[in-house]
Amino acid sequence: MPELPEVETVKTAIDNAVRGAKILRIEVRNQNFKERIPEDFADKLCGAKIESVERIAKYMVLKLSNGFSIIWHLGMSGRFRIYDKVQDTLEKHDHVIIETSEGVIVYNDARRFGVVTYCKIEELGKHRLLDKAGLDPFDERLEARYLFEKFEGMRSPIKVALLDQRIINGIGNIYASEILFEANILPTKFAGEMKIKDCEKIIFATRKVLTKAIEAGGSTLKDYQKPDGSLGYFQNLHCVYNKTGQQCCNCTCDIKKTGGVKKIVQAGRSTFYCPVKQK
């Protein structure tokens, strides 16, 4: 779930629910994440007001009135639920509960690959989790020349390069395949082979695919705040991801002949593409 569009969606939902609220109580029910939640997490943050909720790369950042910020990464399986008030029952893997004056946020993370920590707001920019992030896909400084120079000489496949958060942040394994499909570029080509024109296509496709996904996420927002609500998935929008042997979007092929969408493994992760459209 948590690539940029999902984090953006979660961020907006949480911002709408608790911006301006005061943190009344924090319960860390399990701090044994890949990286332990700091012992004093609750003590440091209780009593503060939530001034804003933002997204930085794939991180959600809550800025508080006491000069601290919460840095939250959803890992592979992190989900939030938002309630009006404290619930009697909890679900399996509900690890962090933040009770505020405006609502309750419950963080559920089966695999505990997420990161939940805090730092001073003024130190966010140089925080070890954030300081290596590349440009945001919607940052206007992301232009063809920037990508071209980053890709120059790279011997990794373009699909793998798109997953490198130090170049463009926010793209994960699903959208990397979707973006290359949209850009008509074969995932197996080396990043170093990309011409300026290809970089332009990649940037355009990235923004298009992510925008569409954010809009789809946004449309589930009204459901999200229901007590039993959880975020929708966007896989029905996918053109190639998880569609091995099926038709891609707007497919005009005879897939009996072409075999449809292909699946390969790159850097240990699945890639999906259309061998007809992508060159």
In the complex, the residues that contact DNA under the rule CB under 7 A are 1-3, 6, 32, 34, 57-58, 73, 75-77, 92-93, 110-113, 129, 132, 153-156, 160, 163, 165, 172-174, 233-235, 267-270
Residue 47 beta carbon to DNA: minimum distance, rounded to whole angstroms: 29
Would you state the structure tokens that stand for residue 144, as one six-digit string?
């063809």
Question: 2, 137, 157, 187: which one is catalytic?
Answer: 2
Least distance to DNA from the beta carbon of 98, Å?
Answer: 22
Minimum distance from CB of 85 to DNA (Å)?
Answer: 26
Q: Is 137 a catalytic residue?
A: no
Three-state DSSP class for residue 68:
strand
In angstroms, what is the minimal distance from the CB of 21 to DNA? 27
The nearer residue to DNA, 103 or 151, going by C-beta atoms, is 151
Nearer to DNA, 57 or 239 (CB): 57
Instruction: From the candidates 19, 49, 208, 269, give the one annotated as an active-site residue.
Output: 269
Cα separation, 193 vs 268, in Å, equals: 22
Instruction: In angstroms, give the least distance from the CB of 225 to DNA.
Output: 19
Instruction: Decide whether 19 or 127 has the Cβ nearer to DNA.
Output: 127
Residue 6 bears catalytic tag: no
Q: Which two tokens stand for residue 103?
A: 């609502």
Candidates 190, 182, 199, 203; CA nearest to 159 is 190
Measured from the CB atom, the residue of 18 and 239 that comes closer to DNA is 239
Toward DNA, which CB reaches closer, 78 or 103?
Answer: 78
CB 274 within 8 A of CB 262: yes
H or E element in which residue 79 lies: strand 78-83
Active site annotation includes 5: no
| Catalytic residue (choose from 55, 58, 201, 262) | 58
Largest CA distance in the chain: 64
Cα separation, 4 vs 77, in Å, equals 14
Q: Which residues pair with 119 in a beta bridge?
A: 69
Is residue 27 part of the annotated active site? The answer reads no
* DSSP structure string for 208-255: HHHHHHHHHHHTTHHHHTSTT--PPP-GGG-SSTT-BTS--TT--S-H
CB 26 within 8 A of CB 42: yes
| Residues labelled catalytic | 2-3, 58, 269
